[in-house]
Chain A
Amino acid sequence: MAADPYGRYGYYFILPFFLAFGVFWLYPIISTFVTSLTNEDFTQFGRDFIGLQNYAQEITSAGFWRSFMNTWIIWLPNIILQLGTALFLAVMLTNVQLRPKGVGVFRAIFFFPNLVTVASIAILAYAVLDWQSGVLNQIVFGTEPGARESYVFWLNSPIATRVVVALIQTWMWFGYTMILFMAGIQAIPQSLFEASIVDGASSFRMFRSITLPLLKPVMVYVVITSLIGGMNIFDLPWILTRGTGGPNQSLSTVVVYLYNRAFRFYQLGSGAAVSYLLLVFTGFFAALYLRFIGFGKEDA
């Protein structure tokens, strides 16, 4: 191997990244795993290795599974609504026959919710939904003294709170997804659409046979990133319920549960185990999805 006298400088240049990566990414990941094998607890000195006991404890805990189900109950309607809305709008805005005006303006407007911090939106939602002084109740039932009696305690309803979180997630992310879809559609060769028009295909047929199949890579990207983000949802449920997990623990998502284990009840070991369980489950469902849609196999 001929040594390049300057070759080692390359290492110096990439060293800062790897140092930062090692300290801020790799070390916490490994350290969290080690912690998950211990009974580390902020309320006591020292820690002992207890093997997989934390994992066993969490897998058999009703609280863990409830939070797991909560996360799915919030994510599933959100992703369906989000994909549907984004795809519809993307197809409309890129339609070669309609040629809508002001595409740029719509794109900016639809993307806008994504720029607002989740905390602000949660506080806004809280103000809208508040039981006695929320705008929603005032609009629906009026503001006369007698009307107060029919006010609905939205934030004390397991169904309403989940619906609200799912809708807010959809509202925040459909614009972003739409832009990805638009980019994906615009990357499809125009000649395919033109050829199908010549062959007399309807708009729906073009959508089903050209747009949708060729959008698959974008779709995979959107679903997988949304799955990861959705499984990690924390800030919105946390602020909306002030960290309590909401009525009947309905907004206690996996990460809210994790945070409570580790930083409210101070059992670091089991909190760390929950984070690894979350990783495993997210990976599993991502793999399942890829298999389901046959990603990676060449289309016939």
Chain B
Amino acid sequence: MRRIIIGVLVSALVVSGVFAGGKQEQVEVPDSFEGMELSIITFTGEFNDQGIVRDFEERTGATVNMQVVPNTDYEAKIRPLLATGQGVPDIFVGEAAYVRQFVEAGYWTDLSQEPFNADTSDMFEYAVEMGTNDEGEVVALTWQTTPGGWFYRRSIAQEYFGTDDPEEIAEIFSSWDSVMDAAETLKQESNGEVSFFAGIGETLFRPFYTARTEPWIDEDNNFTVDEEIRNYLQIAKEVRENEYDAKLDDWSGPWFDAMNTPPEEASVFVYGFPTWGLQFVLNGQEESSGDWGLAAGPDPFTWGGTWLGIYKDSDNKALAWEFIRMLTQDEEWMREYAERATEFMSNRTVMNDVREGFSSETLGGQNPYDVFFDQLQYVEATAIQGFDFQINQILMQVMNEYLGDQLTYDEAINALGRRVQEAFPRVNVD
């Protein structure tokens, strides 16, 4: 019996010794990446689906082991790996909603240093800000940017506003007051058959969220509710009470159905989306293709985006950088990819080249890049923090109760603070 116990203990020692091998080392760049293996964990299928992995494997001769975890489970999957430092792939990604947390926590390698020397001079500023830590080190990069706009049905615009021209429709979207006026007109003229908004979803939330100047949690760890969030609650309530929305949940079946109606049956006027909404959502709606126009909303916004960095203890940093370099530094590849995948890249020069003469069939021939490009100059990332994802979810719960008249406005603001503190006891709430 004693021999068995000793045997078990010895094998446990051996096993733990194998896993305890993490050490700091110099990054050596090999002559060739042929036959090497790169591990990546991500929540987005696009590395595979859009041929990014294929391109990389062809260029380098290396093999990519890609682990794709659904976005809802991604954080729960990656965080234990990071906390224990075991089994973390060479590259892991962060979504806009929580990438700041990874950046601030120091899990990623500094890419501004030798031998990486990431060049961010030509990137859109907010994209760089999101991946830069407090010491000014760039630790995560992105190949894309995600400015958004309001996609409206041309058929509805023509019928009720007398024009479907994006420049004229942009007037309607120029302020929240004019939006509300137009929503009222639409409701009256259509006898309530046509709704301005699909629901109280991201279309309404994103512009306010992006326009914030105060982060959720300030430097002294106090919870703050920015003026824009207060405006959001009020505008959303006004929309719901005046029946300007079709009460559809984002991403629900009926929400998609209302998007894919032929022009004569269109019943929802506006969906707010970023770049990828056109790329992955609207482009797939066959019935309504060509019946869409794009204009800037009352406030510019971005929504989502994927940043990637190299795990600090990876022993495969050279190959990992080669992957990130292709995606974010190689202008030739980026230009080719932007055209192939109709992706809005993070590089200004590339997008300036690509936008020329671009037109979208879904948008009836309009060039969406002009609107997106314009939006990007107003977007900042200064108020975005690591726990926004969780706090925004709490806000959405409170919002539903406020819209359902279970809470008054003041109670909603109080409930928001209270629930944030329950979630994060370290945060001070007045």
Contact residue among A11, A44, A131, A247 (Cβ-Cβ distance under 8 Å from B105): A44
A-B contact count (CB 8 A): 67
Contact residue among A42, A57, A156 (Cβ-Cβ distance under 8 Å from B425): A57
Known: A145-B193, A260-B423. Contact between A43 and B247, CB under 8 A? no
Among B24-32, B35-43, B76-84, B359-367, the stretch in contact with A: B76-84
Contact partners of A57 in chain B: CB under 8 A:
425
Contact with A along B69-108 (1 / 0, CB 8 A): 0000000100110110000000000000000010001000
Contact with A along B247-281 (1 / 0, CB 8 A): 11100111000000000000000000000000000
- Contact yes or no, A265 B396, CB < 8 A: no
Alpha-carbon separation in the docked complex, A15 to B7 (Å): 13
Contact partners of B253 in chain A: CB under 8 A:
133
Contact partners of A157 in chain B: CB under 8 A:
404
Which residues of B from 374 to 430 have beta carbons under 8 Å from A? 386, 390, 393, 396-397, 400-401, 404, 406, 418-419, 422-425
Known: A43-B79, A247-B400, A266-B79. Contact between A8 and B1, CB under 8 A? yes
- Contact yes or no, A248 B406, CB < 8 A: yes
Residue on A nearest B400 in the bound complex, by CB: A156
Alpha-carbon separation in the docked complex, A247 to B397 (Å): 7
Residue on B nearest A259 in the bound complex, by CB: B76
Interface residue SS majority, chain B? helix
Contact partners of A267 in chain B: CB under 8 A:
425
Contact partners of A44 in chain B: CB under 8 A:
83, 105
Residue on B nearest A265 in the bound complex, by CB: B423
- Contact yes or no, A247 B401, CB < 8 A: yes
Alpha-carbon separation in the docked complex, A249 to B423 (Å): 13
Nearest CB of A to B420, in Å: 10
- Contact yes or no, A45 B83, CB < 8 A: yes
Contact residues on A (Cβ < 8 Å of other chain), bracket: 20 to 34
A94 CB within 8 Å of chain B: no
Alpha-carbon separation in the docked complex, A63 to B406 (Å): 18
Nearest CB of A to B320, in Å: 21
Contact partners of B423 in chain A: CB under 8 A:
260, 264-265
Contact partners of A45 in chain B: CB under 8 A:
83, 105
- Contact yes or no, B397 A244, CB < 8 A: yes
Alpha-carbon separation in the docked complex, A271 to B424 (Å): 12
Contact partners of B386 in chain A: CB under 8 A:
43
Residue on B nearest A260 in the bound complex, by CB: B423
Contact residue among B101, B254, B422 (Cβ-Cβ distance under 8 Å from A133): B254
B20 CB within 8 Å of chain A: no
B13 CB within 8 Å of chain A: no
- Contact yes or no, A132 B390, CB < 8 A: no
- Contact yes or no, B101 A43, CB < 8 A: yes
A153 CB within 8 Å of chain B: yes
B140 CB within 8 Å of chain A: no
Residue on A nearest B257 in the bound complex, by CB: A133
A150 CB within 8 Å of chain B: no
Contact with B along A251-278 (1 / 0, CB 8 A): 0000000001001111100100000000
Contact partners of B390 in chain A: CB under 8 A:
264-265
Nearest CB of A to B48, in Å: 27
Contact partners of A248 in chain B: CB under 8 A:
401, 406
Contact partners of A264 in chain B: CB under 8 A:
76, 390, 423
A61 CB within 8 Å of chain B: yes
B4 CB within 8 Å of chain A: yes
Identify the interface centre among B83, B249, B419: most chain A CB within 10 Å of its CB. B83
Contact residue among A40, A132, A247 (Cβ-Cβ distance under 8 Å from B247): A132
Nearest CB of A to B159, in Å: 18
B246 CB within 8 Å of chain A: yes
Contact partners of B79 in chain A: CB under 8 A:
42-43, 266
Alpha-carbon separation in the docked complex, A260 to B1 (Å): 44
Alpha-carbon separation in the docked complex, A265 to B391 (Å): 10
Contact with B along A134-172 (1 / 0, CB 8 A): 000000000001000000010011100000000000000
Alpha-carbon separation in the docked complex, A11 to B2 (Å): 12
Which residues of A from 97 to 145 have beta carbons under 8 Å from B? 130-133, 145
- Contact yes or no, A63 B422, CB < 8 A: yes
Alpha-carbon separation in the docked complex, A42 to B81 (Å): 9
Identify the interface centre among B249, B254, B386, B422: most chain A CB within 10 Å of its CB. B422
- Contact yes or no, A153 B404, CB < 8 A: yes
A237 CB within 8 Å of chain B: no
Contact partners of B252 in chain A: CB under 8 A:
130, 133
Residue on A nearest B405 in the bound complex, by CB: A156
- Contact yes or no, B401 A11, CB < 8 A: no
Contact with B along A1-25 (1 / 0, CB 8 A): 0000000100100010000000000
A62 CB within 8 Å of chain B: yes
Residue on B nearest A270 in the bound complex, by CB: B425
Alpha-carbon separation in the docked complex, A45 to B79 (Å): 11
Residue on B nearest A151 in the bound complex, by CB: B247
Alpha-carbon separation in the docked complex, A281 to B105 (Å): 36
Alpha-carbon separation in the docked complex, A267 to B79 (Å): 11
- Name 21 interchain pairs, CB-CB below 8 A, sorted by A: A8-B1, A42-B79, A42-B83, A43-B79, A43-B386, A62-B418, A63-B419, A130-B252, A131-B249, A133-B252, A145-B192, A145-B193, A153-B404, A156-B406, A247-B406, A248-B401, A248-B406, A249-B397, A264-B76, A264-B390, A267-B425
A-B CB proximity, top 6 nearest: A42-B79, A63-B422, A156-B404, A133-B254, A265-B423, A42-B83
Seen from chain A, the residues whose Cβ lies within 8 Å of a Cβ on chain B are: 8, 11, 15, 40-45, 57, 61-63, 130-133, 145, 153, 156-158, 244-245, 247-249, 260, 263-267, 270
Besides A41-B83, A131-B249, A247-B401, 6 other A-B contacts (C-beta < 8 A): A11-B4, A44-B83, A57-B425, A244-B393, A263-B76, A270-B425
